[in-house]
Structure 1
Amino acid sequence: MTWSLPEPMLTVAVNSPVLPTGHAAEPKWDGFRAQLAVHTGGRVVLRSRQGTDLLASFPEIGAAALAQLPPDTGLDGEVVIWKSDRLAFERLQQRIGRRGAAAAEGSRLWPAHYVAFDLVHAGADLTGWPYERRRSALEALFADHGLAAPLTLCPSTTDPAVADQWLGWTAAGLEGLCFKRLDEPYRPVRSWKKYKVRVTTEAIVGGVSGSLALPRTVLLGRYDAAGDFQYVGRSATLSQPAGRALAEHLTPASPAHPWKGWTFSAGWGTQRSLEAHLVQPDVVMEIAVDIARDAAGRWRHPVRTHRVRTDIEAPQVPLFAE
């Protein structure tokens, strides 16, 4: 009998790290969300949240699934790569799109792991089961079949103290926590909750999108140890009051601006360039950032702006570190 993986269940952001009553907590991994299936006859599927085929890029995951999982098994989880005891998202990015010998070399240099956090098929469709029952079945799958690396069981807890301890794992590259209702079936809706750890810090305004009179987003920079002004990330969209308040502090850039002639991406997954207006890099903003970085050390996700810090000068902002 043929079957297909379900559409993935999605998350909605929350601002509180407290484990809600009636929920389980899991670590939020900095990797690629992926569903993994082994069908009768040996066909293996590894697909992204958007449905992209990932099997050719991560052949070691497919080989492990075929060798270790029983037929007619479907998992949901995350593909991750470890580098010196820290998750390395940039290594995942470098491996995407590799095929054949290049993919095999990538798996040798930067081996991937598959962290399973849900069981959606085990000889039958389990999506109607509540999370608590699916979790017990997932744990039994790992125990009964002796599943081992690169297949890994994601931790899960209903103990708030344990969940709170996991928030300290950000040094290893974990982004925060996911909260899942114990009695909820697996459905293609945004019902799981995600909390991302954010750190308050400062950066320097190097430019804006929109206009100088009404900035829409902020291009942020920091000086490195050599004294060069490096681009570190872009803010989320500003409210109109926040944009007007920032505009009062901005001065158009001089011809000697260090970013003169640079282009900035309009966003993840697009080749469009952002229409940017450079400003004198002397305005400091207090911001909140999560732990995700790209290969160059820039903030990978949009930064949340808090306020302009008129009490701090640009040389007092932390240095850029790759």
Structure 2
Amino acid sequence: MATAAARPVAEGIASMLAAGGDLPAGPGWVYEFKYDGVRALTYAGAGVRVFSRNGNDITRTYPELAECATRLVGRCAVLDGEIVALEHDRLTFARLQQRMHVSAPAPSLVAAVPVRYYVFDLLGLDGQDLTARPYAQRRDLLAGLRLSAST
């Protein structure tokens, strides 16, 4: 991987998706909250490219996600998360739908319907595929990137 921003999703790393079946029991299992949003795989580094879980490039649909790259400072990462919209501090899929299929939203729409990107997994870092590593280790590495929004 030359840079995380330049690597298309079709070349390898894909979102970790849920599978049907009974919930596992015992130590070593964690559960993630399912947000009411759009699953997105983001390649961030020198720039940002965002892909839907189907591999569609949705970078231009959510231009505010370009901020991810500014927080990495010299690093490249493959982030797995969910794009959501809030209204009165509550998740609202109806509000997000106003942005979902707009390939190049006007600044007025971006301002009227801002989105947030909740990152819950780190699948690659600085050219290394992390998907074979334990989830807890990937989460520790993700926390070390200090990507939390300041607002």
CA contact (8 A) 1:68 1:147 kept: no
3-state SS of paired residue (1:94): helix
Aligned residue runs from structure 1 range 1-322, under 5 A: 1-2=1-2, 4=7, 5=9, 6-14=13-21, 20-39=26-45, 42-62=46-66, 64-70=67-73, 71-100=75-104, 102-123=105-126, 124-142=128-146, 147-149=148-150
Give percent identity, aligned residues only: 34
Segments of 4+ in structure 1 off by > 4 A? none
**Whole-Å Cα distance in 2 between the matches of residues 84 and 43 of structure 1?**
31
Question: Secondary structure at 2:138's aligned position in 1?
Answer: helix
Residue 182 of structure 1 corresponds to which residue in structure 2? none
Number of equivalenced pairs: 142
SS of alignment partner, residue 70 of structure 2 = helix
Length-normalised TM-score, structure 2: 0.81
The amino acid across from 2:149 in the alignment is A
> CA RMSD for the aligned pairs?
2.2
In 1: Cα distance, 2:101 partner to 2:30 partner: 35
Which runs of 5 or more residues in structure 1 are unaligned?
A: 151-322
Distance 2:107 2:22 in 1: 41
Instruction: Pick closer, same or farther for the CA change 1:20–1:106 going to 2, 3 Å.
Output: farther
What TM-score comes out, normalization by structure 1 length?
Answer: 0.40
Q: Distance in 1 between matches of 2:35 and 2:81?
A: 9
**Which is bigger in relative contact order (C-alpha 8 A, separation at least 6)?**
2
Contact kept, 8 Å, 2:98 with 2:113, in 1: the verdict is no
Describe the SS at the equivalent of 1:128. Answer: coil
Q: CA separation of 1:19/1:114 partners in 2, compared to 1, >3 Å: closer, same or farther?
A: farther
**More strand per residue:** 1
Q: Which runs of 5+ in 2 are unaligned?
A: none
Contact 2:41 2:50 (8 Å CA) reproduced:
yes
**Greater C-alpha Rg:** 1
Please give the alpha-carbon distance, in whole angstroms, between the structure 2 residues aligned to 1:60 and 1:9: 24
- Contact 2:48–2:65 (8 Å) recurs in 1: no
- Would you say the 8 A contact 1:77–1:114 is kept in 2? yes
Distance in 2 between residues matched to 1:53 and 1:134, nearest whole Å: 24
Match in the other structure for 1:316: none
Kindly provide the CA deviation profile for residues 218-274 of structure 1, in whole angstroms up to 9, marking residues without a partner as x: xxxxxxxxxxxxxxxxxxxxxxxxxxxxxxxxxxxxxxxxxxxxxxxxxxxxxxxxx
The separation in 2 between residues aligned to 1:20 and 1:149, in whole angstroms, is 36
Does the Cα contact within 8 Å between 1:59 and 1:103 map onto a contact in 2?
A: no
